[in-house]
Amino acid sequence: MPPRAPAPGSLASLRPLVFASSRRPGYNRTVLFRPRSNRVFRLALLPALALWISSCTVPLGPGYTIEKQTVQVHFVPGTDPRIAVDANYDLRNSGTQPLPSIEIRLPGPRRFRVTQLRAEWDAAPLQSEPPSEFVSRPRDTLFVLPVPWPPRQGHRLHLAFEFGRPVGEASQLNFAADAFYLPAEGWDPELIPARGLFGSGGIPPKKWELSVRVPQGFLVHASGREGKTERAGGENVVKFTQHPGDHYPFVVAGQYTATRFDSAGQTIYIWTRTSQEQAALQQAQDSLARAIRAYDAVFGTRRKDARALWIAECPVAGSCVPRLSPAMTRLLLPENVTIAEVASLDSVLVDLSAGFPGFAVAAAPSLAASWLGYGQNPAFWEQEPPISALPIFAAALGREAIEGPQVRSEIIRRALASIPLGAQAQNGQETHAREKGLLFFYALQDQYGQQPLANALRDMIQARRQRGFNLDDLIAALEAETHQNTAAFVRLWLKHPGIPQEFRARYANDAAPAVTSSKEMLP
């Protein structure tokens, strides 16, 4: 699979954000961040060295190339449905030495129940052993080759396995006899670079094929560019051509009833396993349209090549688990609503066990990933506080756009109640960092206005598209927008643990109003 984009704040993403204003941020960096040593400067040369190495036409160490790759997903329905995965890789040793083995990252047992696993090297079975020196990577499996693989020689690797439904109370991928999904990242095999100095390999070709074989009558949505559909044995085989820009492959398929509507330049597909009343569908469409307009206003429009969204009903109620923690979910949503799972850049899966009326409220928070995640912001879920709370803040804005401005005070009070008075840091870390980060963005609204903060966020995200962003970028964008020095305000929130007393007192009264100044309201 393609390598991950650099996380915000990593050495590969430390390029300053440039705005129309030429002023440097006026905050005290020594208060916000630990001082960097000279070692960082030396480490900063590593990406340049890696780029020079990758540009060499002559290999410098052990490695191999994937010349051709195909992956087929075959859904087999019945009383005990299963998903069969069959992958073929045409490989060539492009390195400087023979390779005695090949390492593969398989689907993890915590998320998937894998059965019937087999691996073949030119149709001959491969034996596996866990790589003991990589104990921190339990998904990695080392397959020993029958004979060392000489340089310039080509071979075919075949991997096959099945996903079964979870047994007992295991929280693994679940699916029904008439619907299933495979989320982006984690389900498909990942070939690991060869071991050794300057080892290489495992990068898929620039174009490869994912095919999905399902019973006739199934709707199929998957990553890549959809090609022709073939019929075979009462089934449909839908082919999708994958490119590097498609990121991790995913599949959503089933006997769904489809509804399509357009809003604010977006095409939204709603897939449900049962037909819904037209009035309920219209209400959901109107609610989703309001959330989309709010996301566009605050985070900017999505990429031009990502102008459609899929919202599908979860195949099994209760099995589509969101990336947000249960504690954060309780802050954002009513008790009877379960937040949707992000299946991919453009797809979410909604649990409708509580009924269709909560459909849009459950879907809107996860749709924030389409504006903030993947191509917009690498390491969407892996940032440092307080920026790590931006996805939660985006989810809150989505619910507020659907249900009204009273949601704002409700979420703030819930977050305040979860942080005790006199909260302390442990081992240098806030014990309620996500909740405090969420309140930090609301405090920015109060201090500078909703619209100025929205403008700053939009400018930051668009300027740092596909490169990630951090607190430095947010402060620079906010100062460029407001022409104010934000150093004192940021210090007030981040230097000491807990919540500033002035902010807590402002929302202590249940009747505390939301921001009322007209300059602070979103359009």
* Residue 36, pLDDT score: 42
- Under 8 Å CB-to-CB from 381, ≥6 apart: which residues? 323, 373, 388, 391
pLDDT at residue 491 greater than cutoff 90: no
**Do 185 and 276 belong together in one domain?**
no
Q: What share of the chain is helix, strand, coil (3-state, %, to 5)?
A: 30, 25, 40
Can you tell me the mean pLDDT for 11-18? Answer: 33
The domain tally of the chain equals: 2
* Residue 484, pLDDT score: 94
Among candidate residues 207, 229, 253, the one where a domain is terminated: 253
pLDDT-based confidence at 425, cuts 50/70/90?
low
- Under 8 Å CB-to-CB from 9, ≥6 apart: which residues? 383, 384, 468, 470
Q: How does the average pLDDT of the chain come out, rounded?
A: 82
Contact assessment for residue 309 and residue 252, using Cβ atoms and an 8 Å cutoff? no
Structural domain including 471 reads 260-520
Can you tell me the mean pLDDT for 463-491? Answer: 88
**Do 232 and 332 belong together in one domain?**
no
- SS3 of 470-502: the string is CHHHHHHHHHHHHCCCCHHHHHHHHCCCCCCHH
* Residue 336, pLDDT score: 67
Give 227-264 pLDDT, tens digit per residue.
Answer: 999 998 899 999 999 998 887 899 999 999 999 988 77
**Do 353 and 465 belong together in one domain?**
yes
**Do 102 and 208 belong together in one domain?**
yes
* Residue 374, pLDDT score: 46
**Do 401 and 486 belong together in one domain?**
yes
Give 310-354 pLDDT, tens digit per residue.
Answer: 999 999 988 887 666 677 777 787 776 777 787 787 889 998 877
**Domain contains 32:** no
Percentage with pLDDT > 70 across the chain: 79
**Do 378 and 440 belong together in one domain?**
yes
* Residue 50, pLDDT score: 57
Can you tell me the mean pLDDT for 202-215? Answer: 97
**Do 158 and 224 belong together in one domain?**
yes
Give 140-175 pLDDT, tens digit per residue.
Answer: 899 999 999 999 999 999 999 999 999 988 889 999
* Residue 478 belongs to domain with CATH number: 1.10.390.10
**Domain contains 29:** no
Dihedral sign computed on CA atoms, order 372, 375, 376, 378: positive
**Domain contains 110:** yes
pLDDT at residue 451 greater than cutoff 60: yes
pLDDT-based confidence at 523, cuts 50/70/90?
very low
**Do 106 and 211 belong together in one domain?**
yes
- Computed over its alpha carbons, how large is the radius of gyration of the chain? 25
**Do 357 and 239 belong together in one domain?**
no
Percentage with pLDDT > 90 across the chain: 49
Residue reference for tokens 């981040």: 494
**Domain contains 16:** no
* Residue 102 belongs to domain with CATH number: 2.60.40.1730
Give 33-90 pLDDT, tens digit per residue.
Answer: 444 445 555 555 556 555 555 555 567 899 999 999 999 999 999 999 999 999 999 9
**Do 109 and 229 belong together in one domain?**
yes
C-alpha closest to that of 193 among 1, 53, 10 = 1
Give 411-423 pLDDT, tens digit per residue.
Answer: 999 999 989 887 6
C-alpha closest to that of 452 among 414, 483, 419 = 483
DSSP 248-315: S--EEEESPEEEEEEETTEEEEEEESS---HHHHHHHHHHHHHHHHHHHHHH-PPPTT--EEEEEE-S
**Domain contains 395:** yes
322 vs 437, higher pLDDT? 437
Residue reference for tokens 């009877």: 336
Angstrom distance (rounded) from CA 349 to CA 340: 5
* Residue 367, pLDDT score: 81
**Domain contains 118:** yes
The listed range with the strongest mean pLDDT (381-390, 472-481, 501-510) is: 472-481
Contact assessment for residue 178 and residue 273, using Cβ atoms and an 8 Å cutoff? yes
C-alpha closest to that of 115 among 140, 139, 89, 85 = 85
Angstrom distance (rounded) from CA 366 to CA 398: 9
**Do 352 and 229 belong together in one domain?**
no
Q: Read off the DSSP letter of residue 7.
A: P
Angle between helices 390-403 and 406-418 (to 10 degrees): 140
Among candidate residues 253, 279, 313, the one where a domain is terminated: 253
C-alpha closest to that of 309 among 237, 352, 360, 248 = 360
**Domain contains 41:** no
**Domain contains 54:** no
pTM for the model: 0.78
Among candidate residues 226, 253, 280, the one where a domain is terminated: 253
pLDDT at residue 10 greater than cutoff 50: no
The listed range with the strongest mean pLDDT (53-57, 298-302, 504-508) is: 504-508
**Do 118 and 265 belong together in one domain?**
no
* Residue 228, pLDDT score: 92
